[in-house]
């Protein structure tokens, strides 16, 4: 081994060479004009290059006019100039076109494109590129192709690059397959959790209970001893405002309920910018009324403040436990109902206001039965969440192992036997 004298690379085998990327890749910069293809390609972090229509509703929208796009060819390396710092890079299996913010590279005769792609996917190389990124905002940092080309990488003979790439292709496929299996288990557990909650808070715990028709499509039948009520008779809206903006900043997550805002958010927001935010007290029901089909309701365990875009409700404790109502309002049938009654506005968002939400019906059991249901759900959910936590930890471990494996082989610290 010898010292590469490049910090992120460290020691490399003595017969490897240190070269700038410009000696391994060539840039292709051909406009799609006149239009040669309407096949728009996109990059998705950790998944690589895919057809735009296959990536789903994520990221930026593609333009209708693709004449300004660049041509991309099969077996070329596609790099997002702004997201390469987080691993938005991959080898294309398609002929198509890509956004002008992407770079298209081809390998030269002495390089294996797969080997170079693995280098781009290491955290260490991405951290090195960050030193050359330019931009005003963190999320808009951009690295030029010039600065990419001048980065040094460790290169063995092409035959060794081939051997390493073959090995990593096999190992990473195995890791990805195992990760996909674990993710499927997580998805099934999440679905099971939602179904258990929905069944308990809309049907009760007694499978033999007598049911009656509600006459309300999103409720259907409900236990005959429960009471059908409009929400406006079960809560009142809280509209207290912060005078200082110094209270704990809260948000409401689709999956976690009411949570303190992230440190990143709090760092970028000064207290004086939070003056006028809505006050939240413990046991309040917090609702993000933007895009209501996401059903972002949550019972607060904290006192603090939250966005003026949120609605804060004080629940009548003589009728409902806040947590019970949260569970009801986050069920799938209610989420679909919000989509039906919501109001669209010019900024591209939809909102569900208190007067619309107040006319939504809920079937309410006695407080004693609500408590029994909540205790039952806590025991079940605690077990599910424990298993989910273990599964997610397995995913994290596999991801870390994969990154470590790639780094060690593309810098020669481990050898393919």
Q: Kindly calculate the radius of gyration of the chain based on its CA atoms and give it in whole angstroms.
A: 27
Owning domain of residue 284: 205-364
Q: What does the pLDDT look like over 41-56, one tens digit per residue?
A: 999 887 889 998 876 5
What's the number of CA atoms in the CB half-sphere (13 Å) around residue 270? 2
- How far apart are alpha carbons 290 and 342 in whole angstroms? 10
pLDDT band of residue 408 (cuts 50, 70, 90) is very high
Instruction: Evaluate if residue 313 carries a pLDDT over 80.
Output: yes
- How far apart are alpha carbons 146 and 101 in whole angstroms? 14
Q: Same structural domain for residues 195 and 250?
A: no
Q: Which of 128, 117, 148, 119 is nearest to 43 (CA)?
A: 117
Q: Same structural domain for residues 52 and 137?
A: yes
Domain of residue 245, CATH code: 3.90.220.20
Burial of 55 (0-12, 13-18, 19+ CB in 10 A): middle
- How far apart are alpha carbons 391 and 398 in whole angstroms? 11
Q: Same structural domain for residues 110 and 7?
A: yes
Q: Same structural domain for residues 105 and 6?
A: yes
pLDDT band of residue 262 (cuts 50, 70, 90) is confident
Residues in the chain: 417
Cα maximum dimension of the chain: 81
Q: Same structural domain for residues 63 and 99?
A: yes
The better pLDDT of the pair 266, 288 is held by 288
Q: Same structural domain for residues 148 and 229?
A: no
Q: Look-up: residue for tokens 């997002």? A: 80
**Whole-number average pLDDT of the chain:** 92
Q: Same structural domain for residues 53 and 129?
A: yes
Which pLDDT score is estimated for 266? Answer: 52
Q: Same structural domain for residues 147 and 279?
A: no
Are the C-beta atoms of residues 357 and 328 closer than 8 Å to each other? no
How many domains does the structure of the chain reveal? 3
Q: What does the pLDDT look like over 58-84, one tens digit per residue?
A: 555 556 789 999 999 999 999 999 889
- How far apart are alpha carbons 164 and 19 in whole angstroms? 18
Which pLDDT score is estimated for 368? Answer: 98
Q: Same structural domain for residues 187 and 137?
A: no
Q: What does the pLDDT look like over 160-212, one tens digit per residue?
A: 999 999 999 999 999 999 999 999 999 999 999 999 999 999 999 999 999 99
Are the C-beta atoms of residues 44 and 55 closer than 8 Å to each other? yes
Q: Same structural domain for residues 355 and 407?
A: no
Q: Same structural domain for residues 272 and 295?
A: yes
pLDDT band of residue 271 (cuts 50, 70, 90) is low
Which pLDDT score is estimated for 113? Answer: 97
- How far apart are alpha carbons 230 and 134 in whole angstroms? 54
Q: How confident is the model over 272-293, as a mean pLDDT?
A: 93
Which of 138, 155, 172 delimits the end of a domain?
155
Global pTM value: 0.83
Our CA angle for 277, 283, 286, nearest 5°, is 45
- How far apart are alpha carbons 269 and 38 in whole angstroms? 42
CA distance readout (Å), 210 to 199, 215, 221, 224, 333: 15, 16, 10, 6, 21
Q: Same structural domain for residues 22 and 164?
A: no
């Amino acid at each position: 081994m010898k010292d590469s004298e490049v910090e992120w690379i460290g020691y490399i085998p003595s017969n490897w060479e240190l070269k700038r990327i410009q000696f391994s890749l060539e840039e292709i910069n051909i406009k799609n004009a006149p239009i040669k293809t309407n096949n728009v390609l996109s990059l998705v972090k950790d998944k690589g290059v895919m057809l735009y229509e296959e990536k789903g509703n994520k990221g930026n929208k593609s333009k209708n006019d693709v004449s300004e796009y660049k041509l991309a060819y099969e077996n070329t390396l596609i790099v997002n100039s702004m997201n390469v710092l987080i691993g938005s890079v991959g080898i294309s299996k398609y002929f198509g076109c890509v956004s002008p913010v992407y770079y298209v590279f081809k390998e030269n005769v002495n390089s294996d494109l797969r080997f170079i792609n693995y280098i781009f996917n290491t955290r260490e190389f991405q951290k090195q590129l960050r030193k050359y990124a330019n931009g005003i905002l963190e999320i808009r940092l951009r690295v030029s192709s010039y600065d990419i080309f001048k980065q040094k990488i460790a290169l063995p003979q092409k035959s060794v690059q081939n051997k390493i790439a073959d090995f990593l292709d096999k190992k990473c496929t195995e890791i990805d397959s195992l990760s996909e299996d674990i993710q499927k288990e997580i998805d099934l557990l999440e679905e099971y959790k939602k179904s258990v909650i929905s069944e308990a808070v809309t049907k009760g715990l007694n499978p033999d209970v007598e049911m009656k028709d509600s006459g309300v499509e999103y409720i259907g039948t409900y236990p005959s001893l429960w009471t059908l009520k409009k929400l406006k008779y079960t809560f009142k809206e809280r509209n207290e405002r912060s005078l200082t903006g110094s209270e704990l900043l809260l948000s409401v997550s689709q999956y976690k309920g009411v949570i303190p805002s992230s440190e990143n958010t709090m760092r970028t927001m000064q207290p004086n910018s939070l003056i006028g935010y809505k006050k939240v007290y413990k046991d309040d029901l917090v609702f993000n009324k933007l895009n209501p089909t996401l059903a972002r309701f949550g019972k607060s365990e904290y006192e603090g403040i939250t966005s003026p875009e949120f609605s804060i409700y004080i629940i009548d404790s003589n009728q409902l436990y806040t947590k019970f109502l949260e569970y009801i309002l986050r069920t799938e049938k209610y989420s679909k109902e919000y989509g039906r009654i919501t109001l669209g506005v010019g900024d591209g968002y939809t909102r569900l206001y208190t007067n619309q939400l107040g006319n939504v019906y809920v079937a309410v059991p006695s407080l004693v039965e609500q408590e029994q249901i909540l205790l039952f759900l806590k025991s079940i959910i605690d077990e599910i969440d424990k298993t989910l936590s273990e599964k997610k930890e397995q995913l994290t471990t596999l991801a870390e192992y994969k990154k470590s494996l790639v780094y060690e082989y593309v810098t020669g610290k481990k050898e393919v036997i």
